[in-house]
Amino acid sequence: MESLKGKDLLTLNELSKDEIFYLLSKALELKRLRNLREPHHFLRDHTVALIFEKPSTRTRVSFEVGLSHLGAYPLFLEAQTLQLSRGETLEDMGAVLSRYVDGIVIRTFAQKRVEDLAKAAQVPVINGLSDDFHPCQILGDLLTILEKKAKLDGLKLAYLGDGNNVAQTLLIGAAKVGMDVVVVTPKGYGPKEEIVELAVKERQPGTTVAVSNDPEEAKGADILYTDVWVSMGQEKNPDRKYEFMPYQLNERLVSLAKPDCLVMHCLPAHRGEEITNAVMDGPNSVVLDQAENRLHVQKALLVAAIG
């Protein structure tokens, strides 16, 4: 496996299967060190810029805390406090920041902004979320599944809801590690066709990548996953509750899956919409484990790309 040092993470497609498993293994080791409260300052004297054009709870906190654990300085930059708000190009800012910092995390809207920044920057750029992809989230999800199931290959993951950035990145991530994955959405809300085609191309031999409009695809699933029905930046869209209600992750759909299935949600959750309280708080839920594992997998990514 080639070194990940200096590598960008923009979509998750940049990583091979071996590189993903390397990061998951490194994340487990860093998690062990954190739980033992043993110092692991692998990025001492490093600085990472965190550019946030979208609001955040988990992404901001997990990156700031993770960088602190690693002995690095997290430089949080809100869009409205930067010259971006006065017309400076992202490319110019990326080129300048590369002279100051050792890495850049960006949470933004259009995926093109992530890619333009990466082209201009001379340090690793990590996508903390864009409209099309959420690679750090899915790495944390894969870590959670690996911890709970002791494997990834051969498992079936069914995602129900909007074909958003999480669904699209799940397609790629699950396909790369050998999971069967199906994204189930109402008609007209599926993932982008080119991303589905990419996932099909990247899948491991013998695995399936599918898109469906039938919630019954939850049958026999090892993992049931959902996300909000209206993503950030889409709040002005008409109320879609009635179209999405058949895809609600509720007790009936959980009963179709395997008895020991994992229930996953990347948060924040709109309880009573895409997921019920009983399922969110039920015995199959690993939602809080997902949230925690963002911390550990992002630390592994930072160490691999920057350290």
User: Choosing from 113, 203, 294, 296, which is the catalytic residue?
Assistant: 294
Q: How many CA atoms lie within 13 A of 67 on its CB side?
A: 22
User: Choosing from 227, 248, 290, 296, which is the catalytic residue?
Assistant: 227
- Is the Cβ–Cβ distance between 136 and 56 less than 8 Å? no
User: Choosing from 266, 290, 296, 298, which is the catalytic residue?
Assistant: 266
- Residue 227 designated active-site: yes
Of 70, 128, 65, 59, give the one whose Cα is nearest residue 268: 59
- Is the Cβ–Cβ distance between 119 and 90 less than 8 Å? no
Cα separation, 307 vs 67, whole angstroms = 12
What lies within 8 Å, CB to CB, of 279 at 6+ separation is: 249, 250, 251, 254, 263, 285
User: Choosing from 58, 69, 134, 203, which is the catalytic residue?
Assistant: 134
User: Choosing from 8, 69, 136, 137, which is the catalytic residue?
Assistant: 137
DSSP string, 36-104: TT----TTTT-EEEEEESS--SHHHHHHHHHHHHTT-EEEEEEGGGSGGGGT--HHHHHHHHTTT-SEE
User: Choosing from 69, 107, 203, 296, which is the catalytic residue?
Assistant: 107
- Euclidean distance between the first and final Cα of the chain, in Å? 17
Q: Which two tokens stand for residue 294?
A: 């963002």
- Residue 270 designated active-site: no
- Is the Cβ–Cβ distance between 128 and 50 less than 8 Å? yes
Cα separation, 8 vs 118, whole angstroms = 7
- Residue 92 designated active-site: no
- Residue 45 designated active-site: no
DSSP single-letter state for residue 238: P
- Is the Cβ–Cβ distance between 47 and 100 less than 8 Å? yes
What's the Rg (C-alpha) of the chain? 19
- Residue 107 designated active-site: yes
- Residue 137 designated active-site: yes
Which residues carry out catalysis?
A: 107, 134, 137, 227, 266, 294
